[in-house]
């Protein structure tokens, strides 16, 4: 597997299990700002309040996180699922450990290969899922906090601990089924899942979730599209500033090569951030060419982002 970290001026890192995501506007890091926002246009979701009527939710609580945006890896396009109600999937499961142990996951947590977690290409990050080994019938409940895997059409990467619980650590892979349970409604529920049982194992208790009715089945490529199935739109972000004067100076310089360059203002915590961007580019090659030209005029760290894509057919 491959992990790619993209670094841009004033842009945060978002590292996934098997590769860097390519979708959505990056969050500028600007000195002096309150860095509590999760993106340019949305704040971090508040901690979910405990609800009596249900102990789980399959709907992403707040949109705007970068990992909820469409992304591109290895000429494949991915659209994260925003409602996992009834999600069922079968395919090949694998596991990942070193060298990813201790690195940042796609939702900003630190990957611990000895804890129970999983990486999925399109399920909402933060939800709990039940994974079953279809060979031996063993089950484990884990939390999805990373993106991947992107190798040989595998559907799920488990932590080392989870793979051992399912009994396929030694073989490396196994046919599995995935059932989405949803977000825990409270810290109490999450702590119950993560509390060791009498055998010292984590997350193996009966799930504190009501069974969900299977509304739809999902193929091994749920939310995944080939290039011929989508019409993409790219943005190249040149830089971001908290000072309007600096942003205007950069915009003027960029417009000597790209007259269509624009400046957009976004709230970020208690600051206003000004981003210089090239928008509505219709191919990866066009975006790459623009990035190369920007480097020639003094902006080598501009960042290509998949803004959105239209599904064809």
- 240 burial (CB, 10 Å; 0-12 / 13-18 / 19+) is buried
CATH number, domain 56-225, options 3.40.50.410, 3.40.50.720, 3.60.130.10, 2.40.40.10: 2.40.40.10
CB atoms under 10 Å from CB of 231, counted, come to 13
Domain with CATH 2.40.40.10 in the chain: 56-225
Return the CATH number of the domain spanning residue range 228-311.
3.30.70.1070
Q: Which residues in the chain are classed under CATH 3.30.70.1070?
A: 228-311
How confident is the model at residue 216, as a pLDDT? 42
pTM of full prediction above 0.75: no
Distances (CA, A) of 277 to 12, 149, 162: 16, 31, 42
Give the span between the Cα atoms of 10 and 232, in whole angstroms.
25
Distance CA 313, CA 311 (A): 7
pLDDT at 253: 96
Rg (CA), the chain: 21
Asked if 116 and 80 count as a contact pair (C-beta separation under 8 A), the reply is: no
pLDDT of residue 261: 97
Q: How far apart are CA 300 and CA 303, in angstroms?
A: 9
pLDDT at residue 16, rounded to an integer = 39
pLDDT at 276: 95
- What tens-digit pLDDT sequence spans the chain (313 residues)? 433 333 332 333 233 344 333 332 333 334 334 333 323 322 223 332 232 334 445 656 555 566 678 999 988 999 998 888 888 899 999 999 999 999 999 988 899 999 999 999 999 888 899 999 999 999 999 999 999 999 887 999 999 999 999 999 999 999 999 999 888 765 445 555 445 455 544 443 333 333 333 334 567 788 899 999 999 999 999 999 989 999 999 999 999 999 999 999 988 878 889 999 999 999 999 999 999 999 999 999 999 999 999 999 7
C-alpha–C-alpha distance, residues 133 and 197, integer Å: 21
């Amino acid at each position: 597997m491959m992990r790619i970290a993209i670094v841009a001026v004033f842009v945060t890192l978002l590292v996934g299990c098997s590769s860097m995501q390519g979708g959505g506007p990056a969050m500028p890091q600007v000195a002096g700002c309150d860095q509590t926002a999760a993106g340019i246009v949305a704040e971090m979701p508040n901690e979910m309040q405990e609800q009596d009527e249900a102990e789980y939710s399959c709907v992403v609580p707040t949109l705007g996180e970068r990992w909820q945006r469409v992304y591109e890896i290895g000429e494949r396009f991915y659209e994260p699922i925003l409602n996992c109600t009834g999600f069922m999937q079968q395919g090949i499961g694998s596991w990942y450990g070193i060298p990813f142990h201790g690195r940042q996951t796609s939702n900003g947590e630190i990957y611990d290969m000895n804890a129970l977690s999983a990486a999925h290409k399109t399920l909402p990050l933060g939800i709990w899922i039940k994974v079953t080994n279809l060979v031996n019938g063993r089950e484990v409940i884990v939390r999805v906090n990373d993106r991947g895997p992107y190798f040989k059409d595998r559907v799920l990467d488990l932590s080392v601990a989870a793979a051992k619980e399912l009994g396929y650590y030694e073989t490396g892979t196994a046919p599995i089924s995935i059932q989405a349970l949803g977000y825990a409604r409270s810290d109490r529920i999450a702590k119950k899942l993560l509390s060791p049982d009498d055998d010292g194992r984590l997350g193996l208790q009966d799930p504190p979730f009501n069974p969900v009715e299977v509304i739809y089945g999902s193929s091994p490529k749920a939310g995944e599209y080939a290039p011929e199935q989508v019409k993409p739109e790219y943005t190249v972000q040149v830089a971001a500033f908290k000072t309007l004067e600096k942003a205007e100076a950069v915009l003027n310089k960029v417009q000597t090569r790209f007259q269509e360059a624009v400046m957009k203002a976004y709230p970020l915590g208690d600051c206003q951030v000004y981003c210089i961007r090239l928008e509505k580019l219709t191919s990866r090659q066009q975006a790459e060419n623009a990035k190369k030209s920007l480097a020639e005029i003094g902006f080598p760290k501009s960042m290509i982002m998949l803004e959105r894509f239209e599904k064809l057919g």
